[in-house]
Amino acid sequence: MKKEIDLIDSYKLLHPRPVVLICAKGKGEKVNVMSCSWITPVSDDPPVIAISLWKEGYTHTLIDETGEFTVNIPSSKLLEQVWVAGVKSGSKVDKIKLLKLNLVASDTVNVPRIEECLGTLECKVKNRIEIGEQILYIAEVKKALADKTYFKKDIWTDEAEVLLHCAGKTFSIPKLIKNKS
Ligand SMILES: Cc1cc2nc3c(=O)[nH]c(=O)nc-3n(C[C@H](O)[C@H](O)[C@H](O)COP(=O)(O)O)c2cc1C
């Protein structure tokens, strides 16, 4: 028996999904970090992804200034930081300091990556589309890095404990299964 879901909640059927930490930096020196689970690959050649950011947030104002951001992939070890980066705004607090995250210079963009994360995509915005309360950024990936201990044969291992967001304060981690045929 299926139950009907309110349309405003229908996106929840597409969770759990990976949550990432987006780093952005405006024209000033301040770097901000926010949690984002509305992220998807769009094309592999060229390598393009999309992220959907709330208009009331701070991060999109920084991305609009420079057209650059980094996507940082956290493990479950960063659960607390992911939660705080997703409930506090960089317009009010320096989340990088608060969360004690270490930043490392990127190679292709002027926005750093987060040392503690499992991997990073360095991205440059190609298109920006406003949809309802969100802004969809379509961006080309200029460089991709992954921790070789945890990314093997093109797959994040179980030990990586890549963090997935279910809803609210509930998260999960994936478990690999193989098709036998
Ligand atoms: C697990 C998680 C995932 C989130 N995913 C998104 C998202 O995909 N897009 C978005 O706009 N906000 C998302 N948020 C909410 C933002 O992270 C939150 O509004 C944050 O305070 C914005 O920070 P900023 O104002 O510094 O940009 C998420 C929050 C959490 C906890």
Q: Could you report the per-residue pLDDT of 30-41, keeping only the tens digit for each?
A: 899 999 999 999
pLDDT at 134: 98
| Eight-state DSSP code of residue 108 | S
Whether residue 78 lies inside any domain: the answer is: yes
Q: With 90 as the cut, is the pLDDT of residue 29 above it?
A: no
Whether residue 166 lies inside any domain: the answer is: yes
CATH code for the domain of 126: 2.30.110.10
Q: How far is CA 20 from the centre of its chain?
A: 3
Whether residue 4 lies inside any domain: the answer is: no
Whether residue 177 lies inside any domain: the answer is: no
Q: With 90 as the cut, is the pLDDT of residue 87 above it?
A: yes
Taking the C-alpha atoms of residue 52 and residue 63, their distance in angstroms, rounded to an integer, is 12
Decide: 19 in ligand 1 pocket, CB within 6 A.
Answer: yes
pLDDT in tens, 2-26: 999 999 999 999 999 999 999 999 9
Taking the C-alpha atoms of residue 35 and residue 86, their distance in angstroms, rounded to an integer, is 5
CA distances from 64 to 114, 127, 135 (A): 21, 11, 11
pLDDT in tens, 106-145: 999 999 999 999 999 999 999 999 999 999 999 999 999 9
Q: How far is the CA of 52 from the centre of ligand 1 (A)?
A: 10
Whether residue 2 lies inside any domain: the answer is: no
- Say how many domains are in the chain: 1
Whether residue 156 lies inside any domain: the answer is: yes
Whether residue 11 lies inside any domain: the answer is: no
Decide: 40 in ligand 1 pocket, CB within 6 A.
Answer: no
Taking the C-alpha atoms of residue 115 and residue 148, their distance in angstroms, rounded to an integer, is 14
* pTM of the predicted structure, to 2 decimals: 0.98
Beta bridge mates, 105: none
Q: How far is the CA of 163 from the centre of ligand 1 (A)?
A: 15
- Asked if 126 and 41 count as a contact pair (C-beta separation under 8 A), the reply is no
Q: Residue 20 burial by CB count (10 A; 0-12/13-18/19+): exposed, middle or buried? A: buried
Taking the C-alpha atoms of residue 171 and residue 17, their distance in angstroms, rounded to an integer, is 9
Whether residue 178 lies inside any domain: the answer is: no
Mutate to test the pocket of ligand 1, among 17, 25, 35, 69 (most ligand atoms within 8 A of CB): 35
Q: Which domain holds residue 163?
A: 18-172
Q: How far is the CA of 8 from the centre of ligand 1 (A)?
A: 17
